[in-house]
Each structure stands twice: as C-alpha cells, then as structure tokens.
C-alpha cells in the first residue's frame, strides 16, 4: 500500500544528544542546587541515588491541573524529602532543569532538508513521550520545526504513552490515515513496540550502541548504570528496517528531491 504518512519520534530521532552523560549530569546538578536553596540537606551522592530512574517511575496519582506531569513529579519528590515548594518554585525548577539538560541536545543536520521534502509529499506527525509539553512547544519553535507537522502528539497532553497504541491511534484518526499507510521512525524499544502495537510499520534509527541507548531517556546514577545497561531484545518484533541516519529515508520512501 502507498505510504501516505510519516510519523517521527522527537528525542533521539530528530533531536540528538551531543553528550548524554553531560546532559544528565547537568540536569542533576541544576536540580540539586535548586533544591539546596529550598532546604535540601542531603549530600549530592545520596541525592543522585534518589533521582535514579526519576522519569520512568509511576506517574503521580494525584495530579494538580496547574502542573505538568514533570512538575508533579518534582512536587511529590520534594514532599518525600520534606520540602515544601510553592507552585512558582516548582515551575522554575522544572524549566531550569530541563533547559540545563537540553544544552547537550542538538538538531540533526539532516532533519530540516528531509522534512522540507516530506511535507510536500506525505502527512507528517510528531509522536513523543514527554511529561512537560510547554518545553516541547518552545523547542519546536526554536528550531522552526512546528511548520512541518500536521499534528503533534505529546504524551503529557494526550494522556497516553508509547509503547501503548493509543497515542498512535489518536494521531491516525486526526490525520484520517490507516496504520498500513504510515511508517514511524524512532530510536527506542518503546518506539518500535508502540508502532507495532498500533499496526504501523516502524523504522529504528540507531546511531549509538544499544547499551548507551538504554540509559538515554532517564537519569541513572553511576551506582545503578550496570543494572540498566542491558541489550535490547527485539526477537518478538522482527522484522523491521534499521537505519543509521535520517538520510537513508530518501531511498526507502522513494522521495522526489527535485521539482
């Protein structure tokens, strides 16, 4: 069947890390300094261990409608440490920490040229797991990416995350597309499983070795890295295409590069 739509993951696919370790260490240091200003007395080592796996924990049960999921995580984390934060303090901590992390992320140089061609030939959508939607909108604006996508599916807004199929199903419905008319490009196990769960053909972009990829989406303390750095098993998900750079999509999709 003719491919009418191309859906993309964001981080690790269109935006790529310059240095994952520096990014997460910057996030941790900023988080630690800001909580110290609000009464934190823990050593940085103990604080780092408590932060390990911060973003892959269960979402807060009681959500404040004035806070994003990420901000709610910070609120609950601070409460566990007996720290009381005002809403404006939580928002500042959230923004400052994610900005410090993002300093070590860059736009793939092949992304914009590819998207320029794709938007004239396919329906494009962005599907990302991210607990702090306002930051995604600011990033997309900064890199002038918003104009290329017909629909943005951010888990923190949609209420569903990959690898569940719902976030894909909603995107398909918004663009009036069938699963077999779409491909999805992502860089993680959740991306591949999510697309397959929704009946969409996935393409894995793999720029780094699997061990590094496993610890890319969350802060993992040095003490716990070995336990997390396991090879991804794809046996039940085969077959699917694997690429090492976005440029390979030109031939896969038979894109017309000249008018």
User: Does residue 209 register a pLDDT over 60?
Assistant: no
- Please count the other Cβ atoms lying within 10 Å of the Cβ belonging to residue 167: 23
Cα separation, 194 vs 35, in Å, equals 35
Give tens-digit pLDDT for 98-154. 999 999 999 999 999 999 999 999 999 999 999 999 999 999 999 999 999 999 999
The closest of 178, 166, 62, 169 to 123, measured between CA atoms, is 178
Give tens-digit pLDDT for 153-190. 999 999 999 999 999 999 999 999 999 999 999 999 99
Q: What is the pLDDT of residue 226?
A: 46
Confirm or reject CATH 3.40.50.1000 for domain 5-17+105-211+225-252, answering yes or no.
yes
Is there a contact between 190 and 227 (Cβ–Cβ < 8 Å)?
A: no
Q: What is the pLDDT of residue 233?
A: 52
The one-character DSSP state at 59 is P
Q: What is the pLDDT of residue 63?
A: 75
Give one word for 222, left, alpha or beta, with left for phi > 0 and alpha for psi -120 to 50.
alpha
Q: Which of 165-179, 204-218, 219-233 has the lowest mean pLDDT?
A: 219-233
Q: What is the pLDDT of residue 92?
A: 97
């Amino acid at each position: 069947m003719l491919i009418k739509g191309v859906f993309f993951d964001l981080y690790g696919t269109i935006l790529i890390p310059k240095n994952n370790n520096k990014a997460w260490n910057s996030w941790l240091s900023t988080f630690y300094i800001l909580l110290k200003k609000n009464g934190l007395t823990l050593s940085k080592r103990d604080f780092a261990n408590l932060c390990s796996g911060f973003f892959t924990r269960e979402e807060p049960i009681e959500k404040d409608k004035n806070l994003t999921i990420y901000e709610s995580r910070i609120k609950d984390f601070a409460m566990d440490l007996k720290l009381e934060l005002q809403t404006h303090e939580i928002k500042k901590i959230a923004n400052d920490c994610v900005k410090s992390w993002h300093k070590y992320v860059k736009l793939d140089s092949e992304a914009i040229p590819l998207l320029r061609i794709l938007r004239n030939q396919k329906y494009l959508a962005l599907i990302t797991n991210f607990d702090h939607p306002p930051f995604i909108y600011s990033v997309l604006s900064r890199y002038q990416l918003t104009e290329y996508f017909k629909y943005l599916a951010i888990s923190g807004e949609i209420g569903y995350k990959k690898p569940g199929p719902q976030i894909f199903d909603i995107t398909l419905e918004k663009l009036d597309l069938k699963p077999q008319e779409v491909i999805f490009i992502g860089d993680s196990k959740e991306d591949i499983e999510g697309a397959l769960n929704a009946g969409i053909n996935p393409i894995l972009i793999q720029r780094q070795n699997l061990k590094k990829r496993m610890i890319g989406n969350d802060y993992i303390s040095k003490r716990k890295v070995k336990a997390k750095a396991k090879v991804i098993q794809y046996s039940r998900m085969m077959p699917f295409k694997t690429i090492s750079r976005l440029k390979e999509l030109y031939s896969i999709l038979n894109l017309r590069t000249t008018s």
